[in-house]
Every structure is written in C-alpha cells, then in structure tokens.
Amino acid sequence: MVIEYKNEPLTDFSIPANKAAMEKALKAVNTAKGTHYPLVIGGQKIDVEAKITSINPSNTSEIIGTTARANSDLAEKAVEAAAQAFKSWQYVCPAERARYLFKAAAIMRREKFDFSALLVEEAGKNWVEADADTAEAIDFLEYYARQIGKYTKGMEVYSYPGEENECVYIPLGVGVVIPPWNFPLAILTGMTAAAVVAGNTVVMKPASATPIIAAKFMALWEEVSLPAGVVNYLPGSGGTIGDYLVSHPKVRFINFTGSKEVGLRINKLASELAPGQKWLKRVIAEMGGKDAMIVDSESDIEAAAQDIVTAAFGFQGQKCSACSRAIVVKDVYDAVVAKIVEKTKALKVGPASNPAVNLGPVIDENAYKKILSYIEIGKSEGKLVCGGSKAGSYGYFIEPTVFADIKPAARLANEEVFGPVLAVIPAEDFEQALAIANDTEYGLTGAVFSNNRAKLEQARREFQVGNLYFNRKCTGALVGVQPFGGFNLSGTDSKGGGTDYLPLFMQAKSICEKL
C-alpha cells in the first residue's frame, strides 16, 4: 500500500544536526573532487579520451570531476541500447516500473545531504536552493510513481453490444532527455522518471556544466537495479551530439528543457523525417522566460518588495521562473524601488558553500560575460540603483543588480538575461501594468500584488502565463501542487508535476474484439 503523496519537507539548517550533516557531506564532495565518470550505455561503462571538465563556479581553480565526452558514434550506440531495452521494458507492468522510482526516492532521501552538497559545489547553489532542488527531485519520483497507476485502467470507453472494447495506454519508444544546468537534479530527475515510468527508454544527455550530479543520478538508477539500457548516461556537448540524437530515426520523442534558441532548433529538426523514420516525433520543450511581478497601488508593498527580491535573486536569478521585470504602478513606484534597493543591498554574495551566503556564483564564464554585458546595456537603458559590478575574482560572482526606469521596449525588459539583474518598469495604472506584463514573446510565470479583488480577477483572466501567482513570488512551484510549464515561446506548457504530464510519454490504442 502506497501512502498518500506529500511534498518533501525542506531542511531546516538552523538545527545543528542538519548543519553538521551538510558540512560532512560538503567535506565528502571535496574529497571526491576530480573523480572521473565514464558513459553508461546499455549498462556498460564506456570511456573515451575526450573529456568534459566540471568546474566549481565558486572557485574556478577547482575541478569537481570529469566525464567522458560522447561523440556521434557513442550517441548511436546509446540510441541502439535504448531501442534494445525498450523491447522488454515496454511490457514491464506499470506497478513494477513505479517501484524503481519509489526505491530511488527512498535512497535519494537518505542521501539528501550528499546530493545537495554536490549541487552546492557543481552548480553554485546556496544550501537552501540546493536542498530545494533535491527535495523537488524526490517529489518528482514519488509523484510520477503514483500517477502511473491512473493509466493502467486505460481510457474509459462505452460498451457496444457484441463487442469487447478497451483503449489502453502504451509507451512511445526511445526518448532523448535534454535538461538544463539550472535544476540539474530536479529537472533531470523529473524529465527522466516520467518517461521511464511510462514504459519508455531514454538517452539522458546532461547539460555540460553539470554532468557530475547527473552521474550520481545515473548511479542511483544502477543501485536500484533498473534494467540495463532503460536509462543511458551520455554526457556530451549539445552542439556536437544534440542534432544527431534529435534527428535519429529511432528516436520517438525529445524531452527538452532549456533556452528558447535550442528549443526552437530541436523543434525544427525533429519535424524533419529522417530516412527510415516511421513516426512523427513528439517534442516536449520547456524554454525561457521574462517573468514579471506587478505591484498595484493597492497592495502590501513591503511584502511585494521582499518577494520581488527573493524571486529576482534566488539562485542568482538563474531560474526560468525568476522575476526579471518588476512592473510597478506609479503611485507606489518610488516607495517600492526604495524597498527593493534596501533589501537587495542586504544580500551577501560569496561561495555557495558558505551557509551565510544569499547569492553564489553564476554558472560559467559564458554566463558571466553575457550577464555583465547586459549590465552595460542596462546602464544605457535605465538608472542603475543597486549593484552593477563583478564581485570577487576567484569565482563567477556578480552583484545583485537593479535598474529602475526601464522602458517596456528596452532590451532589458524583453530579453532573458538569466542572471541577477532586475528591471523595474513604471506603469501609469494597473491596466497598463498588465499590458506591459503581457507584451513579451514569453509566458512562463507571473505574479500580481494587489488587495483589490476586481484587479486580481482581471489578472486571473488576462495575464497570459503558464504559472500565475497572487500576493506571492513567481518562483518555487511545487510538484503536484502547481503544475509547471509556459505559454508562447516559453514552451509547450507540458505542466511537469501535474496530472497531464505522463500522457505526453504514452499513446493510446483502441482494441475491439467481436464476441
């Protein structure tokens, strides 16, 4: 009997035992630094000379570990291994498939601090963010393991005299899982576990900035004895093996989360029929955002400013759901900007392993340079009221930065920066604030702070985002509670962590027998 689903609680690090456990786990990660991880294809460990080196973004002289770097020959091998494993995995009963997820969740829970400590060092997440990433990964395993039970009965159909009818759900085939680096455990886990519990087999290509946490996740599948080839671990550059995997005729679906640019490329390539391909590929693509929080004149501006700062600078603004636009109605504009600045100035930047730190580093040199170049753009588009500089020389640290008086047409109001940079945009009134919020090609998350029921109801109808929040921050969606996915160029609105997600990895088959 499976107990009722509930979200994994977050760790309270003010409890000395929890703090000590995290310190111990961080020490263990330090000891293991530099370990090399081979590919895992069809249950075989395969090594090659070419390597991916994972760097600690808090201290760029430190190597977290290395992995083998796959080329297209190895990508071919991985697809073949997944295709081979699919022959039997597709017929394993859903309850049995779910048991692998339950067991993986139990182990991940026991080793929570070890997973989180690796996230601190490899992704630059502070303790709280790393813990939330691990908790979300556990949630995905627990949630999808329960959800699959709903589909074993098949689709409800009417009876017809003289016939026996049913409509069953069956898996799709071989999938490619392509996650981003910013939730390198939670998103990787959710995207993989959903596909696998639905009866598919996958090639898991982790983001190149965070392949070590993915190796630890692969080891978890091995520990629970998931049959060889059901999940294949294939680190490699997206630019090199991505197109090969996406275009492969034996690949049935691509489960992608990442930038708009890469998502659009995948969508285009997947629509082309490869020689020997027998199906239309299914693409699940969750992409970027330019998320807005609206502050109305009739609202708790203290709470609004606090939540804007939390949503803008949590994990250094590197969340698809991060608040990158604060749209503030003019009556409260000066007061809200002052509060945002005061709260942002109180944030501490430093190595993610230091528990007192609010902002760790950004992920890598490319991100560092890109964000700093957006800060230069911001200086010509608005008024720099906070931050605006690098912060330290040994890691990719950037001050939390706030630009006020940004115009809706400015680049900073339209392009995803994906870093600790907030654009504050003034609006004449609530009506205009909503229009500005919607005037974007994206549509991922959004929030409104208002005490006026009519305005909240208007936003409920008209704010075009996949995840809308009232009187709270626009980050922090919970699995099973706020199904997640974006509108427009933010993606296919797949609603991960929701009841509609698993059918994306299945097809329905109507079967009729004349009696």
Tell me whether residue 237 or residue 306 sits nearer to ligand NAP (CB atom).
Answer: 237
Q: Identify the residue among 104, 118, 262, 425 touching ligand NAP (CB under 6 A).
A: 262
Tokens of 274: 């490869």
Tokens of 364: 């890598």
Measured CA to CA, the distance from residue 289 to residue 134 in angstroms comes to 23
List 233's β-bridge partners, or say none: 40, 204
In angstroms, rounded to a whole number, what is the distance separating the alpha carbons of residues 369 and 64? Answer: 22
Instruction: Give me the catalytic one of 121, 142, 286, 381.
Output: 286
Site for ligand NAP in 392-421 (CB under 6 A): 416, 418
Helix (H) or strand (E) holding 255: strand 251-257
Give least dist CB 376 to ligand NAP, A. Answer: 20
Identify which of residues 480 and 486 has a Cβ nearer to ligand NAP in the complex. Answer: 486
Residue 501 makes contact with ligand NAP by CB under 6 A: no
Place of tokens 């090639």: 203
DSSP code at position 238? I
416 and 288 Cβ atoms separated by less than 8 Å:
yes
Select the residue interacting with ligand NAP from 286, 291, 296, 381 (CB under 6 A): 286
Is-catalytic flag, 428? Answer: no
Q: Is 476 in the site for ligand NAP (CB under 6 A)?
A: no
Which region, judged by CB under 6 A, interacts with ligand NAP, from 120-128, 192-200, 259-267, 377-385?
A: 259-267
Site string for ligand NAP, 310-329 (x = CB under 6 A): ----------x---------
Whole-angstrom distance, CA of residue 426 vs CA of residue 403: 11
Contact region with ligand NAP (CB under 6 A), list: 57-65, 84-92, 232-240, 389-397: 232-240
Q: Which is nearer to ligand NAP, 213 or 385 (CB)?
A: 213
Place of tokens 């109507």: 510
Q: How far is the CB of 484 from ligand NAP (least distance, A)?
A: 6
Q: Who's near 110: CB < 8 A, 6+ residues apart?
A: none
Q: According to CB under 6 A, which one of 288, 317, 350, 351 is a site residue for ligand NAP?
A: 288
By CB under 6 A, tell whether 180 contacts ligand NAP.
Answer: yes
Q: Are strands 421-427 and 401-404 parallel, antiparallel or unpaired?
A: parallel
Pairing verdict, β 383-386 and 401-404: antiparallel
Taking the complex as a whole, how short is the minimal distance between the CB of residue 419 and ligand NAP, in angstroms? 11
Map tokens 């299914």 to a residue: 282
265 is an interface residue for ligand NAP by CB under 6 A: yes
Q: Are 425 and 412 in contact (CB under 8 A)?
A: no
Single-letter residue type at 102: F
- Both tokens of residue 15? 């409890």
465 binds ligand NAP (CB under 6 A): no
Residue 306 to residues 13, 201, 314, 337, Cα–Cα distance (Å)? 21, 43, 12, 11
Interacting residues of 300 by C-beta distance below 8 A, sequence separation 6+? 449, 451, 471
Radius of gyration of the chain (CA): 23
* Piece in contact with ligand NAP (CB under 6 A), picked from 2-10, 283-291, 326-334, 383-391: 283-291
User: Which range in 35-43, 115-123, 172-180, 382-390 contacts ligand NAP by CB under 6 A?
Assistant: 172-180
Catalytic residue among 142, 320, 381, 386: 320
Q: Fill in the per-residue mask, 198 to 217: x = in contact with ligand NAP (CB under 6 A), - = not in contact.
A: -------x-xx---------
Distance CA 137, CA 391 (A): 31
Query: Of residues 89, 151, 169, 181, which one binds ligand NAP by CB under 6 A?
Result: 181
Could you say which DSSP state residue 349 is in?
Answer: B
251, 175 contact by CB (below 8 A)? yes
Binds ligand NAP (CB under 6 A): choice among 54, 134, 182, 353: 182
Is 96 catalytic? The answer is: no
> Strand, helix or coil at 498?
coil
- Distance (Å, rounded) from C-alpha 63 to C-alpha 483? 36
* Residue 289 is a binding residue for ligand NAP (CB under 6 A): yes
Q: Is residue 237 near ligand NAP by the rule CB under 6 A?
A: yes
Binding mask 3-32 for ligand NAP (x = CB under 6 A): ------------------------------
Active-site residue numbers?
A: 286, 320
Q: Which residues bind ligand NAP (CB under 6 A)?
A: 178-183, 187, 205, 207-208, 237-239, 242-243, 246, 257-259, 262, 265-266, 286-289, 320, 416, 418, 444, 486, 490-491
